[in-house]
């Protein structure tokens, strides 16, 4: 790869927008949902599905239903995304968004996979 092309690619990478936000994974069989926030949403659906396919997701109930119903029984949705360059701490900002969706959707018990607040 020539030097000019390499410089162009580096510049294009620097200019890419990074999004933070909240996602919802819905079990279409049971209607249970999983809400999570991430400081970088890039490829998050692929990473999340790979974790579940490999049996490595930390949420045991979600992992069990993934095994039972299969990956085709889950729908991925970005609930909200924002430009990470516009905040000082994208992880903190993402957690604040997540709190809002947890309060609104209440994905606990029979309705979801998240643990209820203490």
CA 60 to chain centre: 17
Residue 38's DSSP bridge partners are 21
Query: Considering the chain, what percentage of its residues have pLDDT values greater than 70?
Result: 98
Q: Which residue has the higher pLDDT, 8 or 23?
A: 23
Task: Identify the three-state secondary structure at position 36.
Answer: strand
**pLDDT range class, residue 17, cuts 50, 70, 90:** confident
Distance CA 60, CA 74 (A): 16
pLDDT in tens, 25-49: 999 999 999 999 999 999 999 999 9
| 12 or 18, higher pLDDT | 18
Please count the helices (runs of H) and the strands (runs of E) in the chain.
4, 3
- Span 50-72, mean pLDDT? 98
Q: By C-alpha distance, which of 21, 50, 53, 24 is closest to 37?
A: 21
| Residue percentage of the chain with pLDDT more than 90 | 83
């Amino acid at each position: 790869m020539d030097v000019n092309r390499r410089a162009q690619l580096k510049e294009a990478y620097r200019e890419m927008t990074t999004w933070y936000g909240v996602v919802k994974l819905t079990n279409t069989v049971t209607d249970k949902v999983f809400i999570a926030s991430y400081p970088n949403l890039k490829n998050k659906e692929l990473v999340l599905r790979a974790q579940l396919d490999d049996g490595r997701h930390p949420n045991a109930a979600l992992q069990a239903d993934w095994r039972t119903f299969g990956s085709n029984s889950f729908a991925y949705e970005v609930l909200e995304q924002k430009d990470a360059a516009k905040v000082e701490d994208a992880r903190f900002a993402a957690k604040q968004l997540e709190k809002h969706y947890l309060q609104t959707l209440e994905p606990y018990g029979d309705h979801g996979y998240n643990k209820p607040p203490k």
